């Protein structure tokens, strides 16, 4: 009896539990749905915040990039009056050119230059020497690079082979704002020479020690064509010439060390050879004639020395001219003289250091043909003069 009642109670209890469980299910589902909705709202808010943040960053980046590109297209310094020399090597790409211009502080960005040129189909740029300014636009720079010339008012000054200091001074005065006196005063400026000697000691040490020279830089203003800008100083122009001489002479310093000459003597003999001979072979022959005469303790007897001593340029040298009292008179003085008589070419320098071996002590040139005739004896020399010069 009791067992039956207990069984019934258990069954009743289980039914109540099931009923309670069934009653709780809807509540749990509702809670889970409510919780999920809240989580979804939070996730949406987070995603929205991230999207807004990315959008803001994107806008800031885009705006900054736009401003950067816009400013990079403009001149680096519109008010600049500075002129900057730039070398564009052969085979340079737009990217390389942009990097060079940026490094030289001519443009804002080499990268923008590269893409700007690509976007505008700008190409065909030429290698060479240019003078640019931070005030130039990218289009102005591009035009210069395509034409192969500077967009600035740049002049070309030519120093002919064999010109002496005074002839160069005259040419400079005609092509620039500097007068002949300005140039000659600079040639006599010891402080300026000392500055150059400090920068180019291997080139100018011997010239510094030479005595009785008229101009210490005579012979060291290399004959070439030079760039000249309106804002360039006379010192800068002359320094270009000396720097060019030094760069040429770097190929010969070892040869000079191995020879019986120093740099000053090399340039001096070369300056005579420059005017006495025209062809490479004649210059090498004439150089050896000078060495033969020097070894025999004979004066060189070059008319070029007389004209320099006189400070004149004329076709004929008279017997009276040969008496001029000057250390540059190589009729009266043995050796090579105090220093160069003009500014020689590389061909003449090479001829002095690589002369053609011969036994000649005399030569005479036929002015009408340019041919040079050589002799071992004075008698032979006179015969050649009678044959080719008396008329």
Q: For residues 234 and 177, what is the distance between their CA atoms, to the nearest angstrom?
A: 9
- Which tens digit of pLDDT belongs to each residue from 370-391? 899 999 999 999 999 888 876 5
- Which tens digit of pLDDT belongs to each residue from 217-258? 999 999 998 878 777 899 999 999 999 999 999 999 999 999
**C-beta separation of 293 from 299 below 8 A:** yes
Q: For residues 247 and 223, what is the distance between their CA atoms, to the nearest angstrom?
A: 13
55 — pLDDT class (breaks 50, 70, 90): confident
Name the CATH superfamily for 84-147.
Endolytic murein transglycosylase (3.30.1490.480)
Distance of CA 369 to the CA centre of its chain: 40
Q: For residues 322 and 309, what is the distance between their CA atoms, to the nearest angstrom?
A: 10
Q: For residues 71 and 67, what is the distance between their CA atoms, to the nearest angstrom?
A: 6
Q: For residues 260 and 265, what is the distance between their CA atoms, to the nearest angstrom?
A: 9
Residue that wins the pLDDT comparison between 78 and 3: 78
Residue that wins the pLDDT comparison between 42 and 203: 203
**Residue that the structure tokens 């001489």 belong to:** 245
Q: For residues 107 and 127, what is the distance between their CA atoms, to the nearest angstrom?
A: 18
| pLDDT at residue 79 in the model | 82
Sequence-distant contacts of 113-117: CB under 8 A, at least 24 apart: 113/72, 113/138, 116/73, 117/142
Q: For residues 224 and 336, what is the distance between their CA atoms, to the nearest angstrom?
A: 25
**C-beta separation of 259 from 327 below 8 A:** no
- Which tens digit of pLDDT belongs to each residue from 267-292? 999 999 999 999 999 999 999 999 99
Can you say whether the dihedral through the CA atoms of 271, 272, 276, 279 is positive or negative? negative
**Residue that the structure tokens 């102005």 belong to:** 140
Nearest to 311 by CA among 336, 290, 341: 341
Taking the CA of residue 240 as centre, how many other CA atoms within 13 Å lie in the half-sphere pointing to its CB? Answer: 17
Q: What is the DSSP secondary structure assignment for residue 323, as one 8-state letter?
A: G
Considering only CA atoms, give the Rg of the chain: 43
190 — pLDDT class (breaks 50, 70, 90): very high
225 Cβ contact list (under 8 Å, min separation 6): 156, 157, 158, 159
Q: For residues 227 and 224, what is the distance between their CA atoms, to the nearest angstrom?
A: 10
**C-beta separation of 336 from 305 below 8 A:** no
| pLDDT at residue 282 in the model | 96
**C-beta separation of 338 from 358 below 8 A:** no
Q: Kindly report the backbone phi and psi dihedral angles of residue 228, in degrees, each rounded to the nearest multiple of 5, phi listed first.
A: -140, 125
Quick one: what percent of the chain has pLDDT higher than 70?
A: 85
What average pLDDT score do residues 262-270 get? 98
**Domain ranges, ordered by start, for the chain:** 84-147, 159-249, 259-388
Q: For residues 312 and 328, what is the distance between their CA atoms, to the nearest angstrom?
A: 13
315 — pLDDT class (breaks 50, 70, 90): confident
**C-beta separation of 145 from 131 below 8 A:** no
Taking the CA of residue 353 as centre, how many other CA atoms within 13 Å lie in the half-sphere pointing to its CB? Answer: 23
| pLDDT at residue 152 in the model | 54
């Amino acid at each position: 009896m009791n067992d039956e009642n207990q069984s019934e109670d258990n069954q009743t209890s289980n039914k109540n539990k099931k009923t309670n469980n069934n009653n709780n299910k809807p509540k749990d589902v509702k809670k889970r749905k409510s919780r999920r909705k809240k989580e979804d709202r939070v996730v949406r808010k987070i995603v929205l915040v991230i999207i807004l943040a990315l959008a803001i960053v994107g806008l800031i980046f885009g705006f900054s990039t736009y401003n950067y590109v816009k400013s990079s297209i403009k001149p680096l310094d519109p008010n600049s009056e500075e002129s900057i020399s730039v070398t564009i090597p052969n085979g340079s790409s737009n990217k390389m050119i942009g990097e060079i211009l940026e490094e030289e502080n001519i443009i804002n960005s080499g990268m923008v230059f590269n893409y700007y040129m690509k976007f505008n189909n700008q190409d065909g740029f030429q290698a060479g020497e240019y003078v640019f300014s931070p005030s130039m636009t990218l289009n102005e720079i591009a035009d210069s690079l395509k034409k192969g010339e500077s967009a600035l008012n740049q002049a070309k000054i030519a120093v002919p082979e064999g010109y002496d200091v005074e002839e160069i001074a005259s040419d400079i005065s005609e092509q620039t704002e500097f007068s002949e006196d300005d140039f000659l005063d600079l040639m006599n400026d010891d402080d300026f020479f000392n500055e150059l000697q400090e920068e180019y000691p291997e080139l100018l040490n011997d010239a510094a020690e030479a005595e009785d020279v008229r101009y210490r830089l005579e012979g060291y203003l290399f004959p070439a064509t030079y760039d000249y800008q309106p804002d360039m100083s006379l010192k800068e122009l002359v320094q270009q010439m000396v720097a060019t001489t030094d760069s040429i002479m770097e190929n010969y310093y070892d040869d000079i060390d191995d020879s019986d000459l120093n740099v000053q003597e090399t340039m001096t003999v070369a300056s005579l050879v420059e005017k006495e001979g025209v062809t490479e072979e004649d210059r090498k022959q004439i150089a050896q004639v000078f060495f033969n005469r020097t070894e025999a303790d004979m004066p060189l007897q070059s008319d070029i020395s007389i004209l320099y001593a006189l400070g004149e340029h004329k076709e004929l040298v008279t017997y009276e001219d040969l008496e001029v009292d000057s250390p540059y008179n190589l009729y009266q003085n043995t050796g090579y003289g105090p220093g160069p008589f003009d500014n020689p070419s590389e061909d003449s320098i090479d001829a002095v250091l690589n002369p053609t071996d011969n036994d000649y002590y005399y030569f005479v040139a036929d002015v009408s043909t340019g041919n040079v005739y050589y002799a071992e004896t004075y008698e032979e020399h006179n015969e050649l003069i009678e044959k080719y010069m008396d008329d």
